[in-house]
Amino acid sequence: MNRYLARRLLLFLPTLFGTLTLVFFLIHLVPGDPVEVMLGETASGTDKETLRHELGLDLPLWTQYTRFLSGLALGDLGRSLYEQDSVSRLVRARFPATLELTLTAMLLALLIAFPLGIIAALKRHSWTDRLSLLFSLLGLSMPNFWLGPLLIIVFSIELGWLPVSGRGTLAHLILPSATLGMAMAAILIRMIRSALLDVLHEDYIQTARAKGLSEQKVWLKHALRNSLLSVVTIIGLQFGTLLAGSIITETIFTWPGLGRLTIQAIQTRDYPLVQGCILVIATSYLLVNLMTDIVYRLVDPRITYGK
């Protein structure tokens, strides 16, 4: 286990390095000039060149890249071109909001998916099963950029029950988390149902029934636990998807998180800030995948990772 974790950590750094390198060069290929965004197109050429020199944007791209890597090695993510503040400080200020939204969306998805998935498997081919699968289909068919405005129209504008945007109270969290977590809930419902049905004909299930255990114990203690591996995989992958998907949701609900900050940085061509945001998102995604592998061992002690 320790050697496996060591190997994963060794792969962690090259993966992160590759991601940041790709983002660095792609963001510089995006049309637009951060100097023109800051000064406006009507600014004089002298002013533009002066600001470009002050920001270091007149240097060759390779020199800018090596400066970025040198600063990153020292824990310095640079300074925002547009905000004129430390990238680290800006990211730290926004990341808690994104983490709050992501965890709430995941919790909501689990609270919806596990009961519906288990009931759908218990009552296979019944109307309950069909309704659960219909709900799953609707959840997969509704993208965030459509579902979010729809929820705003219904629950905020028409009914007036919940705030339209912003962050502060629990009420502000309901619509964004529902928008973000719906697709994950839809995927998990199908996965839980399918995983439970796959293990029902295993020998240990028949043995548990032969021992006289109740159906509830057979399903919850034996079938559900042994079907969790595939579900844990999806949860781990979807957590990273939620972090990335929060960009759209945060923009719709004006949620002051990392996703909205990333969009603002892209719009203003704020290269250091974009790189800092992507660094945090990519690191979070890789850490979640590593934690998922560790959870595998907790769910099924028979899993080994080599000596």
pLDDT at 222: 65
pTM (whole model) above 0.85: no
> For the chain (length 307 residues), average pLDDT per consecutive 10?
70 80 80 70 73 76 84 81 84 89 90 86 83 86 87 90 86 90 87 79 70 68 69 76 77 88 84 85 80 69 57
Is there a contact between 156 and 163 (Cβ–Cβ < 8 Å)? yes
Instruction: Look at domain 89-299 and name its CATH class.
Output: mainly alpha
pLDDT at 45: 73
pLDDT at 176: 92
Closest CA to 182 of 128, 116, 122, 269: 116
Is there a contact between 66 and 78 (Cβ–Cβ < 8 Å)? no
- Amino acid (1-letter code) at residue 165: S
- What residue spans define the domains of the chain? 32-76, 89-299
Q: What is the DSSP string of the chain?
A: -HHHHHHHHHHHHHHHHHHHHHHHHHHHHSS--HHHHHH-TTS-HHHHHHHHHHHTTTS-HHHHHHHHHHHHHTT---B-TTT-SBHHHHHHHHHHHHHHHHHHHHHHHHHHHHHHHHHHHHTTTSHHHHHHHHHHHHHHHS-HHHHHHHHIIIIIIIS--S-SS--SSHHHHHHHHHHHHHHHHHHHHHHHHHHHHHHTTSHHHHHHHHTT--HHHIIIIIIHHHTHHHHHHHHHHHHHHHHHHHHHHHHHTT--SHHHHHHHHHHTT-HHHHHHHHHHHHHHHHHHHHHHHHHHHHH-TT-----
